[in-house]
Amino acid sequence: MVNKVNLIINLVSRESGVPVSDMLGRSRKASIVRARHLSMWLSRWTTTTSLQQIALLHGCTNHANVIHACNQIDNLCDANKSYSQFVSNLKSITKQF
């Protein structure tokens, strides 16, 4: 499943315009954080990879980062229909991996 998570990271990078190196880094810039969170959210809901492993693959320290990221993306989707559609489209793409 590690390979699938890497494919998700690359997909989100391409679709968001945020370089993979930035997504996996420690930047707190909003656009980078949003892309990182989205990648973690997709990894959680489309793979069987553990939360700890997802966190490590995204350069985070523990599973709590993934839980927080998923909550943030869920909140964004609830508040913004166009973002929700964007996430849904990416989710359908990742299911094909």
Each domain of the chain, given as residue ranges in start order, spans: 2-94
* Distance set, CA 14 to CA 48, 50, 72, 78 (Å): 23, 24, 21, 24
Say yes or no to pLDDT of 1 above 90: no
pLDDT of residue 27: 94
| Mean pLDDT for all residues in the chain | 95
Max CA pair span of the chain: 32
pLDDT of residue 95: 87
Q: Which residues 6+ apart lie within 8 Å of 67 measured at CB? A: 51
Query: Which of the 8 DSSP states describes residue 24?
Result: T
Q: Which residues 6+ apart lie within 8 Å of 75 measured at CB? A: none
The average pLDDT across 63-86 equals 97
Q: Which amino acid is at 66?
A: V
What architecture does CATH give domain 2-94? Orthogonal Bundle (1.10)
